[in-house]
Amino acid sequence: MIKNNYKIAVLLATYNGGKYIWEQLESLFQQSCKQFHLYVRDDGSSDDTMKIVEQFHGMFPDRVTILKDSQKHRGAAKSFMYLLENVDSEYYMFCDQDDIWMLEKIEKTLARMKEIEKAVANAPKEVMGGTAEKNVPILVATDLGVVDEQLNLLSESFNKDLKIDVFRKHPELISVRHVVTGCTMMFNRAAKLAALPMSPRATMHDEWVALCVHFKGGVISILDDATILYRQHTSNTLGADQARKGFFARAIARAGQKQFFQVAKLLHKDFGLSYLKFLMYKILYSWF
């Protein structure tokens, strides 16, 4: 286990990302908040990804750590979870290799995290289920600006597509819709502990962490500020277009049907949500 001496561990999983990763790393080290250390795990890249990462390691030797892993091709979710398992920090952020972080992304997210921590500390213990402040899982996410490969703006707010306003009124929406985007997340150590180990039924790291925070008595807070340029291209693991598709559009696709049953089983086996309630949520929130 690697102990982070900064407040925040930024976890970057890479794989053949040489085309865009320089811009991402540049935006990271231009952040207004410097209280972070970058941890990188590569999944067996065959391009110049690691050469670029090593250049930044040379420029910031005290703030970049490359984790060596004998196992290759874990995939995105397991790669991120490997980083999470092997780094001890106060806070964590997932970082994709192809986006651009706005200058105040870390600063704004950390400020909201501190606000939530203060609110939790001042809340009556019976409201928090009798748990101590340090044991409450907290997750903060932000909005995203969606851009194309050349960073031309496609949408000012990805959160509108994710129905964030519905989620704020009806938190159970998280059971049937991806409402937290991993590249915008910051979460505390309690959230990490709640999310480990990742269920073999889980398919995405960010969705799994968010579900664990939600179902284990934590707090999810989402900022309306877009703090990231979410780049869309052919190699996206999960793009904006896919996330925008409604329930019925996904349901008639073979992949959508497979995902439907995977998520239903995950929620039932790992969090005790009945299949009937899952179906009810799916039908109810498909109309929003």
Residue 276 lies in a domain: no
Residue 281 lies in a domain: no
Q: For residue 59, how far is the Cα from the chain centroid?
A: 27
The string of pLDDT tens digits covering residues 219-261 is 999 999 999 999 998 765 445 555 544 544 544 455 567 889 9
Q: What are phi and psi of 13, to 5 degrees?
A: -100, 125
**What pTM did the predictor assign?**
0.91
What is the total count of domains within the chain?
A: 1
Residue 153 lies in a domain: yes
Residue 172 lies in a domain: yes
**Amino acid 13: pLDDT:** 98
- State the first-to-last Cα distance of the chain, in angstroms, to the nearest integer: 44
The string of pLDDT tens digits covering residues 9-49 is 999 999 999 999 999 999 999 999 999 999 999 999 999 99
Range of the domain at 123: 2-245
Residue 140: which CATH number? 3.90.550.10
Residue 259 lies in a domain: no
Given a cut of 90, whether residue 165 has pLDDT beyond it is: yes
The string of pLDDT tens digits covering residues 170-221 is 999 999 999 999 999 999 999 999 999 999 999 999 999 999 999 999 999 9
Mean pLDDT value of segment 4-10: 97
DSSP state of 200: T
**Amino acid 118: pLDDT:** 95
Residue 166 lies in a domain: yes
The string of pLDDT tens digits covering residues 99-146 is 999 999 999 999 999 999 999 999 886 665 555 556 899 999 999 999
CB neighbourhood size of 81 (10 A): 22
Residue 148 lies in a domain: yes
Closest CA to 247 of 216, 219, 281: 281
Residue 15 lies in a domain: yes
